[in-house]
Structure 1
């Protein structure tokens, strides 16, 4: 492996110039990293269950990991350095989504090894992440619930593409970098808001109803969990007796109120947040196909489908109130936004 360079790796894997910045950064920052150690056999099976990967993916994923970890291969060169980059960034709130520790999606021509590469990086990094959690007194149940988001993204990949693999590595870099944690129904990550200082970003996993009581319980857990373990980062935000919780999501789009009952879980979740000035009226511009980034985002989340045009949206099987709302809104020539809102959360003394 020592004779490989970033340029040689790109050449052997057929990576074009769009991969140069990532591979060159890995080479510069980690010229001789320790070898990554992806789990194998029974250890791998146990870990896959712990992080929520469905059993149907085991055989292909195990074969892909063996290929990725083969001595002297260009995959191994990438794997060792990507794991080292992820470990070096643990606890960094400035983690760059899509940066060296996660990296871009590999070409489809590479087959299963390419589709599973980023899952291999995160699986090999689990011991480092778990050690970081232990140093910050993160309970085991919170640690594993947090890391299980990997399995969720494996499931999303299967539903979107009808083939095994894991995408959205830019997102998984958050729970696997020690700054995002799942606390009950919701996820929270340390956030440096340029306008409002330091606080928490709120995220909504897709698994189950958005029950208001469960959300309130999560907020309460966050108010105890983060100041106790990350007071140095939060600083004055925690010392002042309250935290700012931020959320940017289609769930906060006030246009949903025209379609959903006032007492629905989504509308009750939405009312917990006050939209930032100007956010309520802001909707992104559509692309050349007539859809915005937010349009595609809400369709992917609600239907787990990838759409290209409004005609693709119109063909979706809309069965629930929310599904019908998404389709009807776009069919009327309107667009969805993902506004940003916040509220203040008291911190226990």
Structure 2
């Protein structure tokens, strides 16, 4: 439980001062032996969050620190070993810290939704400690195995079992316009030479941001609509608006009529929900040749 590394991580990933103070104060209340034991258990048991949960809950109960904060601190302390693993794979320290900036995004989301710095989406993180994800510019890219039906898009054939990059859109607050996205795709094109094997960069993304129905909700100038245009949509999944908390925060759990209208996106989605609009997500594929998106 290296507090010097915690401080370094928070500095390099841009934690707000208030969050840094809260984390350092909470860290002082934790049992270092219990945290180090949990980190060893995490690495020795294939980063299994379900098995780890009782240990984290026990640390939270013993210390009197919110379990969300304990999760956030645990993941930060565990990142020290991950840093060495990323470097051993030839991934730069700059990319490592950019990737683990995700801990900051989730800490801020946790404060907004739960009232404390930490995380409530700990299930998301094993891929970070397996070194299966990197942040390159605006977007995160997870290396996965394609497990959907074979498809041909822009002259490229996707086959089950093929290694491919899966795009995630972190809540970093950075620009999300076409220029920012293209810069990220170019970085990924250079980074994923092994996946490309001399061809274009092929990525998939499964997200609520790709759901075509939301074209009726957002303006044509929306960066979300622009992001949809980067992809060829393969599958559409209609369902509940499970990501409403990303738009409305903790108010998403309340009555639709009482949802906040503080932003244009909130106003648009509230109207959509009140008028019985459809919700869901979609799977899309992006093909990029290093300079332009191919369709």
TM-score range, shorter chain: 0.7 to 0.9
The secondary structure found in structure 2 opposite 1:338 is strand
1:70 positional shift: 4.3
1:115 positional shift: 2.7
| Aligned 1:226-265 pairs, distance under 5 A | 226-227=192-193, 231=194, 234=195, 238-239=196-197, 241-265=199-223
Aligned equivalent of 1:338: 281
Higher strand share: 2
Mapped contact 1:82–1:102 kept (Cα < 8 A): no
Mapped contact 2:23–2:69 kept (Cα < 8 A): yes
Q: Confirm whether residue 308 of structure 1 aligns to residue 263 of structure 2.
A: no
Mapped contact 2:31–2:59 kept (Cα < 8 A): no
Aligned equivalent of 2:146: 193
| Aligned 1:178-189 pairs, distance under 5 A | 178-189=131-142
Q: Distance in 2 between matches of 1:274 and 1:304?
A: 30
TM-score, normalization by structure 1: 0.70
The secondary structure found in structure 2 opposite 1:138 is coil
Q: Distance in 2 between matches of 1:104 and 1:302?
A: 32
- Relative to structure 1, is the Cα distance of residues 115 and 205 closer, same or farther in structure 2, using a 3 angstrom cutoff? closer
Q: Distance in 2 between matches of 1:264 and 1:173?
A: 32
Q: Distance in 1 between matches of 2:169 and 2:30?
A: 32
Q: Confirm whether residue 136 of structure 1 aligns to residue 76 of structure 2.
A: no
- Equivalent in 52, 56, 74 of residue 14 of structure 2: 52
Q: Distance in 1 between matches of 2:262 and 2:224?
A: 17
Unpaired runs of 5+ residues, structure 1, are 1-37, 285-291
TM-score, normalization by structure 2: 0.81
Aligned equivalent of 1:273: 231
1:275 positional shift: 1.4
The secondary structure found in structure 2 opposite 1:174 is helix
Residues 171-216 of structure 1 show CA distances to partners (whole Å, capped at 9, x for unaligned) of 2333343111111111111011212422011111221331111101
- Equivalent in 202, 211, 218 of residue 184 of structure 2: 218
* RMSD over equivalenced CA pairs, Å: 2.9
| Aligned 1:70-149 pairs, distance under 5 A | 70-71=32-33, 76=34, 79-87=35-43, 98-100=49-51, 106=57, 110=61, 111-112=64-65, 114-149=67-102
Aligned length: 276
Aligned equivalent of 1:296: 242
Unpaired runs of 5+ residues, structure 2, are 149-158
